[in-house]
Structure 1
Amino acid sequence: MAKVRHESEWYPLEPGETVLDGLLRQGVRVPHACRAGACQSCLMRATSGPVPEAAQVGLKDTLRARGYFLACTCRPQEGTALEVAGASELRVPARVVDLETLSADVFAVRLEVETPLDHRAGQYVTVVRADGLARSYSLASLPREGRLELHVRLVPGGAMSGWFAREVRHGDRVHVQGPAGDCFYVPGQPDAPLLLAGTGTGLAPLYGILRDALEAGHTGPIHLFHGAKDPGGLYLVDALRALAASHPNLHYRPVVLAGGGGEVEEGTLEAKVLTCLPKRPVGWRAFLCGNPEAVLSLRKKLFLAGVSLKDIHADAFLPSVSRAGPVAGAA
């Protein structure tokens, strides 16, 4: 039997059990969200004992060297003892400075951090509440703006989204961990065609990436697709149309499954995206965000259409899940 020591107490792990599951099972509060090694909200640091290589996949070299690992993918070998600490040193205090309604179920949360974060628009951070509840959100803001802007979808029964929507007030404090993720604009190919496609609040990182590219002087065509079930699921429509009007190389195409009309197209996001590709999309760079299944499917279709895998950027961002249940949607 493997065991884990956390805050001076030893906790036994069942065969094949992860550190996260074992600690939660025994009543230990550990910040976590996706439980799939994607969001990095469950980062812990090993102070003694062996860490399986699989528990450090996707982490920066600097974090691995300091003993950090993902508790949700860490399955210590039988008979080993692992002593761990939290990731509090990686978190910076922040306070809520603004809340803005963007649609019927999406609102912007703007945070001011006490210590500046070295981040890029499109990366994601983990917001940690005082009680340890953690959720990861992509950044829609640009570094020069000084504030972190998150787009939060209100989920029925959502712990974090409900808290933000109904309880948080101006000045309330949280902690922020990160940034993480490789889905951001990199200057250097200003004439390359860019494809940005996302559903729901997957628009948040795309909005940041888009503005980053425009401010960097990107001259190549930029195709932005935002998908929703119906027009009520779209947001920032006026702002994006204004950007498109002032930048001839930007083509904004909102897409809905039902209720389209006028400038809002009707159909599947995937089908609309594929129609904009030339027969040989050499040099195209794609950024995909939103529903995980849709992202994986579109990523495959773009590759088969000729877009190089190295030019398809999509963070494996999964919604939060309950301990013993299916994917429940970002909360």
Structure 2
Amino acid sequence: MAKVRHESAWYPLEPGETVLDGLLRQGVHVPHACRAGACQSCLMRATSGAVPEAAQVGLKDTLKARGYFLACACRPQAGTALEVAGASELRVPARIVDLESLSGDVVAVRLEVEAPFDYRAGQYVTVVREDGLARSYSLASLPREDRLELHVRLVPGGAMSGWFARDVRPGERVHVQGPAGDCFYVPGQPEAPLLLAGTGTGLAPLYGIVRDALEAGHTGPIHLFHGALEPRGLYLVDALRALAARHPNLHYRPLVLAGGDGDVEEGPLEARILASLPKRPVGWRAFLCGNPEAVLSLRKKLFLTGFSLKDIHADAFLPSTPRAGPVAGAA
């Protein structure tokens, strides 16, 4: 049986149990959200003991070197002992300064950070509430702007989104951890065609990426697709149409599965994207965000059409997941 020491107390882990599940099972609070190793909200630091390699997959080399690991992916070997600490040193204090409704179920949350915060448009951060509740959101803002902007979908029964919808007032304090993610524009090859595709609040990082590319002087065609089930699921339509009117190389296409009209196309997002591509999309770069199944499916099909994998940048959105029950074999 492995064991973990956290804040001067030792906690036994069941066979095959992760550090996150073991600590939560025994009443220790650890910030977490997706439980899939994607959002990085459960980052912890090993102060003593060996960290399994799988617990550091996807982390920056600088974090690995300092002993950081993903608690949700860390399964210490039987008979080993691991001493851990939280990730408070990675968090920057911030203040919520503004909330704006963008649609019936999407709100823009704008924050001012109280320390330098370097990021690239399109990356994501983890917002940590004073009580430790943590959720990850993509950045729709640009680094030159004074505020971080997040687009939060209001989920029925959602702990964090419900808090934003009902209780938050300007001046509320939180902490921001990050940034993370590889879905951002890199200057160079300004003539390369760009494909940006997202569903729901997957538009948030794409909104930052497209503005970042245009400000960097990108001259190649930029095709931005945003999909939703019905028209009310779309947002920033007017702002993006205005942006496209100012930049002839930007082609914005909002799509819905049902309820389309003369201004909004109707049809499956993936099919419309694939139909719009040339037979040999050589030199294209793609940025995909949103529903994980849709992102993975489109990523595979773009590769099969001729996209290079190194030119497909994707961050899938994973919902927060409640703590699972006892692991197999646990009492």
Equivalent-residue separation in structure 2 for 1:155 and 1:317 (angstroms)? 13
Match of 1:283 in 2: 283
Cα distance, 1:323 vs structure 2: 1.4
Match of 1:57 in 2: 57
Moved more, 29-38 or 315-324: 315-324
Equivalent-residue separation in structure 2 for 1:226 and 1:165 (angstroms)? 24
Match of 2:155 in 1: 155
TM-score (norm 2): 0.97
Match of 2:261 in 1: 261
What do the CA deviations read for 1:77-125 (whole angstroms, capped 9, x no partner)? 0000000000000001000010000000001000000012110110000
Give 3-state SS (helix, strand or coil) of 1:297's partner. helix
Match of 1:43 in 2: 43
Counterparts of 1:298-313 in structure 2, within 5 Å, are 298-313=298-313
Match of 1:328 in 2: none
Which residue type is aligned with residue 30 of structure 1?
Answer: V
Which residue type is aligned with residue 68 of structure 2?
Answer: Y
Cα distance, 1:190 vs structure 2: 0.4
Give 3-state SS (helix, strand or coil) of 2:223's partner. strand
TM-score (norm 1): 0.97
Match of 2:176 in 1: 176
What do the CA deviations read for 1:208-248 (whole angstroms, capped 9, x no partner)? 00000000010000000000000000000000000011110
Counterparts of 1:22-101 in structure 2, within 5 Å, are 22-101=22-101
Q: Are 1:2 and 2:15 counterparts?
A: no
Which residue type is aligned with residue 295 of structure 1?
Answer: V
Give 3-state SS (helix, strand or coil) of 2:62's partner. helix
Equivalent-residue separation in structure 2 for 1:236 and 1:257 (angstroms)? 18
Equivalent-residue separation in structure 2 for 1:159 and 1:121 (angstroms)? 26
Match of 2:213 in 1: 213
Percent of counterpart pairs with the same letter? 89
Residues 316, 102 of structure 1: alpha-carbon distance in 2 compared, 3 angstrom cutoff: closer
Cα distance, 1:75 vs structure 2: 0.1
Equivalent-residue separation in structure 2 for 1:149 and 1:116 (angstroms)? 16
Cα distance, 1:316 vs structure 2: 4.1
Give 3-state SS (helix, strand or coil) of 2:238's partner. helix
Equivalent-residue separation in structure 2 for 1:276 and 1:119 (angstroms)? 32
Which residue type is aligned with residue 281 of structure 1?
Answer: P
Which residue type is aligned with residue 43 of structure 2?
Answer: L
Contact residue 291 and residue 316 of structure 2 kept, 8 A:
no
Counterparts of 1:108-257 in structure 2, within 5 Å, are 108-257=108-257
Equivalent-residue separation in structure 1 for 2:287 and 2:263 (angstroms)? 23
Equivalent-residue separation in structure 2 for 1:310 and 1:121 (angstroms)? 19
Equivalent-residue separation in structure 2 for 1:276 and 1:251 (angstroms)? 11
Equivalent-residue separation in structure 2 for 1:215 and 1:142 (angstroms)? 10
What do the CA deviations read for 1:250-301 (whole angstroms, capped 9, x no partner)? 0000000000011200011101111111000000000000000000000011
Cα distance, 1:324 vs structure 2: 2.4
Give 3-state SS (helix, strand or coil) of 1:55's partner. helix
Give 3-state SS (helix, strand or coil) of 1:192's partner. coil
Equivalent-residue separation in structure 2 for 1:200 and 1:185 (angstroms)? 20
In angstroms, what is the RMSD of aligned CA positions? 0.8
Give 3-state SS (helix, strand or coil) of 1:144's partner. coil
Contact residue 94 and residue 114 of structure 2 kept, 8 A:
yes
Equivalent-residue separation in structure 2 for 1:298 and 1:9 (angstroms)? 46
Match of 1:11 in 2: 11
| Structure 1 residue runs without a partner (length 5+) | 326-331
| Structure 2 residue runs without a partner (length 5+) | 326-331
Which residue type is aligned with residue 63 of structure 1?
Answer: L
Which residue type is aligned with residue 148 of structure 1?
Answer: L
Which residue type is aligned with residue 315 of structure 1?
Answer: D
Give 3-state SS (helix, strand or coil) of 1:163's partner. helix
Equivalent-residue separation in structure 2 for 1:29 and 1:244 (angstroms)? 46
Equivalent-residue separation in structure 1 for 2:290 and 2:242 (angstroms)? 23
What do the CA deviations read for 1:147-175 (whole angstroms, capped 9, x no partner)? 10000000000000000111000000000
Give 3-state SS (helix, strand or coil) of 1:137's partner. strand
Match of 2:329 in 1: none
Give 3-state SS (helix, strand or coil) of 2:315's partner. coil
Cα distance, 1:315 vs structure 2: 2.0
